[in-house]
Structure 1
Amino acid sequence: MKRTYVTDFAITLYVILFSYTSGSKFLDIDQFARDMEKQPFNHIVTEGLTWGVPIIESLIVLALIFPRYRIAGLKAATGLMLLFTVYVLLVILRMFDKVPCSCGGVIRSLNWEQHLVFNLFFVALGLFGLGIQLKKPVLKFN
């Protein structure tokens, strides 16, 4: 498999994932807001996250779509998934009392351990795609 195919595969999966999750959050923003209010964060933080998370996911999708911004988008997507993964680990380690899933769509039906595996897959995919892409020479002299 060519090196660019791995990066393109990672980008494609991130576009699908974040398009789906941001879209489902926007389509049912009231439910997402209720879910966010149950999170173990300050009310002001959850209010900002209610709109901030789907907006950031949408901006990442836009970055991933445009070739000029793809690598920055892949870095942002991987970073966001890493943050989500740390949060899931904290939930699994019972650092919070009660935490409902505020993910969008069918992903909300995963239990926390399944979330962890799902997130780790996307983090690994993003890191692998970035690692391959960043090893490419900037200039080719043929």
Structure 2
Amino acid sequence: MSKHKLLIVEIICCLLIVLFLYASFTKLLNPYALRHDMLNQPFPRWFSRQLIWAVPAVEIVLVILLVFEVTRKIALWGALVLLLLFTVYTALVLLHFFSYVPCGCGGVIRNLSWPQHLVFNLFFTGITAVAIVLRRKVQMH
């Protein structure tokens, strides 16, 4: 049974690696769109400027940490925190918390509606939590 759990954790880590690689490179390969999108967020301008490079940098660091078993625990927790932040942000947009609807994400994800984006984020948040739980169970045995 623990082999199956490990396989599930590996698959989830691979999915997260693909997600974060795609997300970070989509941002970095089009810096003008990234800057425009980040500066259009409903945050103070100084904070939005920090996000321009911080978000893709964190995504790349998470990819590197997810690759190695020795750093996978911290990577999964970091991914969970980042995905929770994205999910809360998306939920706030849907609840009309902000005075305007900011532009969405880049790449293929840009084509999702905000409700679809929330489901997408919830899916990845959920599987990340599953990976954390399964990994812990395997290590306890």
Q: TM-score, normalised by structure 1?
A: 0.93
Whose helix proportion is higher, 1 or 2?
Answer: 2
- Say if 1:20 and 1:104, in contact at 8 Å, map to a contact too: no
| Aligned residue number for residue 15 of structure 1 | 17
Deviation at 1:137, TM superposition (A): 3.4
**Paired residues for 1:35-74 under 5 Å:** 35-74=37-76
CA distance in 2, matches of 1:75, 1:23: 22
| Aligned residue number for residue 80 of structure 1 | 82
- Say which of 104, 108, 111 aligns to 2:110: 108
CA distance in 2, matches of 1:17, 1:102: 16
- Say which of 134, 137, 141 aligns to 2:136: 134
Change (3 A) 1:95 1:67: same
SS at match of 1:136: helix
Structure 1 unaligned blocks of 5 or more: none
| Aligned residue number for residue 7 of structure 2 | 5
Structure 2 unaligned blocks of 5 or more: none
Deviation at 1:99, TM superposition (A): 2.6
Count how many residue pairs are aligned between Structure 1 and Structure 2.
139
- Say if 1:38 and 1:99, in contact at 8 Å, map to a contact too: no
* Paired letter, 2:93: V
Q: TM-score, normalised by structure 2?
A: 0.93
Question: CA offsets per residue over residues 49-81 of structure 1, 9 Å max, x none?
Answer: 000000000000000012211121111112101
SS at match of 2:116: helix
